[in-house]
Amino acid sequence: MKVVALAGGFGGARFARALAESDAELTVIGNVGDDEEILGLHISPDLDSILYALAGIGDEERGWGRADETWNALDTVGALGGDTWFQLGDRDLGLHLLRTQALRKGEPLSSITARFARALGVDATVLPATDDELRTHVETPAGDFPFQEWYVGRRHEDEVTGVRYEGDAKAAPGVVEALANADLIAISPSNPYLSIGPILAVHGIRKAIESRRVPSVAVSPLIGGRTVKGPADRMLERFAGGTSPTHVAAVYEGLIDRLVIDEADAGEGDHIVTRTLMSDEAARRTLAGAVLEAAAVPR
Amino acid sequence: MKVVALAGGFGGARFARALAESDAELTVIGNVGDDEEILGLHISPDLDSILYALAGIGDEERGWGRADETWNALDTVGALGGDTWFQLGDRDLGLHLLRTQALRKGEPLSSITARFARALGVDATVLPATDDELRTHVETPAGDFPFQEWYVGRRHEDEVTGVRYEGDAKAAPGVVEALANADLIAISPSNPYLSIGPILAVHGIRKAIESRRVPSVAVSPLIGGRTVKGPADRMLERFAGGTSPTHVAAVYEGLIDRLVIDEADAGEGDHIVTRTLMSDEAARRTLAGAVLEAAAVPR
Residue in B with minimal Cα distance to A78:
B94
Alpha-carbon distance of B248 to B252, in angstroms, equals 7
Query: Is A97's CB within 8 Å of B116's CB?
Result: no
Which tens digit of pLDDT belongs to each residue from B137-187?
A: 999 999 999 999 999 999 999 999 999 999 999 999 999 999 999 999 999
Q: Of all residues in chain A, what percent are helix, strand and coil, respectively (each to 5)?
A: 40, 20, 40
In this predicted structure, what is the pLDDT of residue B63? 85
Average confidence score pLDDT of chain B: 96
**Where are any strands of DSSP class E within chain B?**
2-7, 25-30, 36-38, 41-43, 125-128, 135-140, 143-146, 162-166, 184-187, 216-219, 222-223, 226-227, 258-262, 272-274
In this predicted structure, what is the pLDDT of residue B228? 85
User: Residue A24: which residues within 8 A CB-CB, separation 6 or more?
Assistant: A1, A2, A3, A184, A288, A292
Evaluate whether ipTM surpasses 0.90.
Answer: yes
What's the pTM value of the predicted model, to 2 decimals?
0.93
Query: Is A70's CB within 8 Å of B91's CB?
Result: no
Which tens digit of pLDDT belongs to each residue from B36-84?
A: 999 999 999 999 999 999 999 999 888 899 999 999 999 999 999 999 9
Interchain CB contact of A56 with B (< 8 Å): no
Query: Is B95's CB within 8 Å of A76's CB?
Result: yes
pLDDT, average across residues B206-234 = 95
Residue contacts between A and B (CB atoms, under 8 Å):
105
C-alpha distance from B93 to closest chain A C-alpha (Å): 6
Which tens digit of pLDDT belongs to each residue from A187-212?
A: 999 999 999 999 999 999 999 999 99
Burial (0-12, 13-18, 19+ Cβ within 10 Å), B283: middle
- Spell out which residues of chain A touch residue B73, defining contact as CB-CB under 8 Å: 73, 90-91, 93-94, 97
The answer to whether B51 and B126 have CB atoms below 8 angstroms apart is: yes
The answer to whether A130 and A170 have CB atoms below 8 angstroms apart is: yes
Confidence label for A294 from pLDDT (cuts 50, 70 and 90): confident
Residue A233 CA to its chain's centroid (Å): 17
Reply yes or no on whether the pLDDT at A299 is more than 70. Answer: no
Q: Which domains does chain B have, with CATH numbers?
A: 2-64+110-134+168-296 (3.40.50.10680)
Q: Which of A109, A81, A84 is nearest to A95 (CA)?
A: A109
In this predicted structure, what is the pLDDT of residue B297? 73
- Spell out which residues of chain B touch residue A115, defining contact as CB-CB under 8 Å: 80-81
Mutate to test the interface with B, among A83, A88, A98 (most CBs of B within 10 A): A98
- Considering chain B, what percentage of its residues have pLDDT values greater than 90? 93
Confidence label for A297 from pLDDT (cuts 50, 70 and 90): confident
Region of poorest pLDDT, from A46-50, A228-232, B18-22, B274-278: A228-232
In this predicted structure, what is the pLDDT of residue B298? 67
Backbone torsions φ then ψ of A186, nearest 5 degrees: -135, 125
Which tens digit of pLDDT belongs to each residue from B20-36?
A: 999 999 999 999 999 99
Mutate to test the interface with B, among A88, A90, A92 (most CBs of B within 10 A): A90
Alpha-carbon distance of B106 to A140, in angstroms, equals 33
Interchain CB contact of A283 with B (< 8 Å): no
Q: Which of B1, B49, B8 is nearest to B25 (CA)?
A: B1
Which amino acid does the sequence have at B13? A
